[in-house]
Structure formats: structure tokens, C-alpha cells
Structure 1
Amino acid sequence: MRGSMRALAKLTRVRRRTLAGTSSSHRFQSNTSGSKSFQGVWPIVATPFHDDEALDLEGFAKSIRFFRECGASGATVCGVLGESNRLTDAERAQLVETAVGAAGAMPICVGVSHAGTRATVDLAQMAQDLGAHSVMVTPTKEAFPQSDAQLFDYFAAVQDGCALPIVLQDHPASTGVFMGAELLVQICAHLASVQCIKLEAVPTPPKIAALRKAWAAQPPAFPECSILTGLGALYGGFDVEQGTDGFMTGFAFPEVLMAIDGAARAGNVERAHAIYAQFLPLLVFEQQPGVGIRKEVYRLRGLIECGRVRRPAPQVSTVAAAALAAQIERSLYDPFPGVDLTKPLTPLFERLSRS
């Protein structure tokens, strides 16, 4: 580990000398300003398809507008939930353009991860050209272990090729790439564009605590960047205890996550835990493998007409759809009779977070 970190330190010095000659007007530098640029709830948006698997851009735009009306801090498109591995580059461009157009002032983050560094950079440049606010990047598994220096260089290459803020996704369960807290802090400290860590390394609470401890040992010139947790907010109540800055995940009721986050920000962690516990069965049910369940929630909320998942992924089963409807009944209709799922539930959950 020491040899790897020495190599990383050397690479950092070289990279910083290289960036010193880059125009500051082109380089995003706000992680030295003392303010965090990613906070609150950023829904990961599903990509809707018609029954013939063609893009449903109307449903996609409607979903973006709905999350904006809910009060989301931002939205992320072309992520794993967005079935990015089943999209063509032309379809990605259509989705980004549609999202930016529908979002208004709400920022749009775009997943641009690819097995090739050059392709990742090109996708990031495309997102920038189409008006995205930021890009989400995660390394991919290789046949050989990647050193800390190689992982650092991967994110540095994206910074060199794109002026947008970078969300570093840490999700070893899907990527097979494990990044320690010290490496993540060094990447954030020395690559100005890396503004946020999307933390999905299980167990998340100890990783958040380790990051906070590692940041505390850094010089004051390198303030902490944001930590947004994912994994469908499955561990959300425990994450807020450790000081996460919010959520970037695909749970199809972002209003619930906004209530958890709001209660925690107000200093009432016990209330945040109570809301989390109340909706944990729905969080658990929705976090099943695949995206069919989540698309069914979108359909029930009136955002899309068809819950089609692109092949070869399976569609939601009739058994799962019935069980989902029953759980929504228990989680929402029983405690809140007459609630309309097709409308933003933010006012209801804002009251819940204060009660």
C-alpha cells in the first residue's frame, strides 16, 4: 500500500504541474471554495421505453419535470438504472438533450462510465456539449488489479477532457474495483473537478466515517467534497447518522428521501430514522435486482405508460407487481388515505419530517 501511495503522490505532483498551465476559466475549481456543490436528493432517472423498446422521450421528460416539481436538488440520467449499458451513443445524446430541456434550472448529471478511458472522456465531452451540469464516473473491472495511481489517472483523464464537475461513483459490487478512503480523499483533494463521491461501497456507514476521518487529517486548503449515498437508500437512516450530504439514488419516491435528509439537516436524526423505518419495507422491496420493479412504480405514479425493460433483462412479473401494489398500500395509502401518487408528495413529507 505504501508503494502504491508513493506512486500516487508522484503522479499527483505531475498532474498538478500539468494543470497549472490550464486556463482557470475552463477548469471547474469550486472544491477549494469551502462550499459543497452536491447536496440534497438527486434521483437516478430510469430510461422509459415503448413496448417495441424504442425510447419514450415524452415519458422521460415527464419524469424529469416531476422530480423537479418534487423539489429534487438535481437528477442523474444514463446511470445503471437508466440501462446505460443497453443504450447507443445516439440514444444517450437524445436522453441528455431531453433531460436538460425538461429540467429548467434543476441540474442534470450524466453517467458517462465506459470500459475505455478514451470513450469515457468522449461521453463526458458530449454531455458537456449538450448542457449537462456534471458527469458521473466509475472505473470498470480489468483482468489485472489496478493500482491507486492508475485509478487516479483515470479520473484525471476525465478532468483533462471535460470542464464539468465529476461525481465519483464508488460501487465495487458492480465494478469489482475497490477504492479505499485514503485514495478517494487524495483524488478529491488533488483533482479539482471531483466534487462528489456517490458512495455505494457496502457497508456505507463505516466508509462515510472513514472518509470524514481521512478528510479531517488533510490541510485546510482541501475541504471535504460532498458524499451522496446510493443503493436505493437501503441504509439511508444509518448513512445520515454519519453525515452524508444527501442521496443520489433511484428510489422512485424521492419525497421520502427528502424528508429523511431534511430531518437530519435539522439535527433531528431520530426523526430521520423514524421516517426511514416507516418506509424501509418499500425501500427493501424496490431494491430487488433489475429495474422492472422501479419502472412499475414509475407507471403507477403516472410518469410512463409502459414499464418495458430492454432485453435480455426480464420484465416485472405479475407476482412482483401485485406484491409491490400491496406494499404501496401498506406504506402510503393506509397511513395517508386518499393520497395521489401521481402528484408530488413533498408537502406531505415535509410535514412528516417536522412532526
Structure 2
Amino acid sequence: MLLTADAKGVFPIAPTPFFDDGAIDTASVDRMTDFYLSCGSTGLTVLGQLGEAPKLEHAESVAVAGQVIRRAARLPVVVGVSAPGFAAMRALTHEVMAQGAAGVMIAPPNTLRTDDQIVNYYRQAVEAIGADVPFVLQDYPLTFSVQMTPAVIRRIVQELPSCVMLKHEDWPGLEKISTLRGFEKDGSMRHISILCGNNGLFLDYEVERGADGANTGYSFPDMLCDVVRLNAAGDREAAHDLFDAHLPLLRYEQQPGAGLAVRKYVMMRRGILTSAAQRRPASPMSATARAEVEHLLTRLARHDKRAALPPA
């Protein structure tokens, strides 16, 4: 089941579950995967930016990816393979593709500055992993400090047929989506899937601009699935009403440096993860932050009963 340019819906970015001692919690991996399957996800992404991939040994990365691929057998699974060098990227890519991954996601190193450098990097990445491996182009300038203009994305898409999806995480980025879809309409760029990140913070209008869905890790991915579904059904106001109810928690969870702790905490509160632990180095939540998240959940529960959780 290889990833194609027609991918739509929601591909949640899965966190890596750990016990408090830093060991991988394999039971939570299965429970988390089952939850994603049950809530309407159309695919999954593991070892992404907030999957703590740099904290895993190579064998652990292969094992986690393989476990999710086997558990989510009916959905395409994309694996993040970004690495400082192409040797490590190639090794991980070949192992996860052999296990049945649908494709890989590649983020740019923060040393790239010019359009030519960006295009050349992805050209070399494809040479390293193989032109037969579908890949997701991750555009996240707020984290990677690499500015990809619509023109450079078009160059990558046109020169590298194995680029089938853009993970759009520019901010602001609505005009970029419109420009890319405009390239498709005028025939200067072939069609690719566009799934959006940034915790879904702008998903309500991103799908209206032409994005195909979300590729992010919000602790209520079932809400993201509902928003994409409602939008596709033409029920615009219901989609916005649901999204607006979640916006305060979305915003809180999007805080740089703190977001993963919040996400894992809420997923633990929802019974998806056994522990909210991150592998060290980690940034645990303070008691005050936990109280704020509980307050946000209480307020959200007035509009979405999925947030009505048992007392902590």
C-alpha cells in the first residue's frame, strides 16, 4: 500500500509512548494505533517531529514503525526518516519499507538557504533512498528555519516524481496553499496531496483553500477527522463550530517546547497512553500547567463530550 498523490483525510502524527523510566510502552503503541483506526484516520505517521525520533536508537525506530505498520494493516503508514546524513536515512527507509510502510517523510536540514540548495538536497535524498519510495516533503520553517517558496516546492514536485505529498506547516500559509493549487490549475505543477500540520491550528480554513486534510498530532485527532469530514460534506458552519470549540486547547498545545508534554498528558487522560512520559531530555509539565489543561478540558466538554473525562 504505497502512498499516492491522492491521499486525503487525516494522518495523525503519533507520539512514541514511553514508561516513566524511558522504556518504550508497546501496549500503548497498540492501544494508540487502535484509537487512530477507530476515530476515522485515513493514514498514520510515526517518528515525526514530535515522535521523539532523535531519542530512539535505530533498532527502536524500526521496531516502533514495524509495530504500528502491522497493527494498522488497513491504513497507509508514513515513517519519518529525517537524519543528519543520507546513510542513516537510507538504512531506516529500506528497513521500514520492507516492513510495509507506505512512504517516508523527509524534513530539510536547517543549513539550507537558497532554492538551489533545497532542491539539490531533495534530489540527493531521492538518490539515497531510491526513486521508487514515495516521500512527503515537510515544509516547517518555524522549526527548521528553511523557507520554501511555492516556486521551490513546484520545482521539487516537477523534478522528483516520488514526491507525492506536502506536509504544509508554514505560518502564515493559507496563501501558499492557494498558490500551489493555482499552479495545478494552470498546468505548471502536477497534483500532489497537501496535508497540514501546526497542530491543526489553521485547519478550518486550510481545507477551504484546497488542502486535503491534516497531518498533525493534536490530542483530539477525532475532532480533526470530523472537521475534514464535515467540510467535505459541505457543512461549513458545523465544521467551524466544532473547530472553534477546540481552538483554546489547540492553541495551548501548540506552544513551542511545551506542546508534546500537553499532548501526551491529554492522551493519557483519555486512556490512550499509560504514561505522559517523554524520553530525556524532556520538558515535563508543571502542576500549574496541568491545572490549566484540566480547566481547558472542562470548558471544552461543554461543547464536545469527548473532553468530559473522569477526575484526574
Deviations 1:305-326 (A, max 9, x none): 1111122221122211121122
Q: Is contact 1:77–1:111 with CA below 8 Å preserved after alignment?
A: yes
Q: Is contact 1:241–1:269 with CA below 8 Å preserved after alignment?
A: no
Task: State whether structure 2 residue 80 is matched by structure 1 residue 97.
Answer: no
CA RMSD of aligned residues (A): 2.0
- Matched position secondary structure for 1:141: coil
Q: Quick one: which of 39, 44, 53 aligns to 1:75?
A: 44
TM normalised by structure 1 equals 0.80
Task: State whether structure 2 residue 19 is matched by structure 1 residue 53.
Answer: no
Task: State whether structure 2 residue 205 is matched by structure 1 residue 217.
Answer: no
- Matched position secondary structure for 2:225: helix
Give the corresponding residue for 1:171: 140
Q: 2-side partners of 1:247 and 1:338: how far apart?
A: 20
Give the corresponding residue for 2:222: 255
Deviations 1:207-250 (A, max 9, x none): 1112122333335xx53101111000111122122111000000
Where do 1:1-355 residues align within 5 Å? 36-142=5-111, 145-160=112-127, 161-162=129-130, 163-219=132-188, 222-289=189-256, 290=258, 291-332=260-301, 334-336=302-304
Deviations 1:133-192 (A, max 9, x none): 1111111112xx543233223223333323331111000111111111011112112311
Give ranges in structure 2 of 5+ residues lacking alignment.
none
Q: 1-side partners of 2:94 and 2:24: how far apart?
A: 22
Q: Which amino acid aligns with 1:110?
A: V
Is the radius of gyration larger for structure 1 or structure 2? 1
Q: Is contact 2:298–2:307 with CA below 8 Å preserved after alignment?
A: no
Name the stretch that deviates more: 271-280 or 64-73. Answer: 271-280
Q: Is contact 2:157–2:190 with CA below 8 Å preserved after alignment?
A: no
- Matched position secondary structure for 2:33: helix
Question: Shift of the alpha carbon at 1:57?
Answer: 1.4
Q: Is contact 1:182–1:214 with CA below 8 Å preserved after alignment?
A: no
Give the corresponding residue for 1:6: none
Q: 2-side partners of 1:146 and 1:125: how far apart?
A: 29
How many positions carry a matched residue from both structures? 305
Question: Shift of the alpha carbon at 1:118?
Answer: 3.1
Q: Is contact 1:140–1:175 with CA below 8 Å preserved after alignment?
A: yes
Cα 1:49–1:179 change in 2 (3 A) is same
Give ranges in structure 1 of 5+ residues lacking alignment.
1-27, 343-355
TM normalised by structure 2 equals 0.91
What percentage of aligned pairs have identical amino acids?
33
Q: 2-side partners of 1:51 and 1:99: how far apart?
A: 21
- Matched position secondary structure for 1:228: strand
Deviations 1:3-58 (A, max 9, x none): xxxxxxxxxxxxxxxxxxxxxxxxx7x86xxxx43210111001111111011111
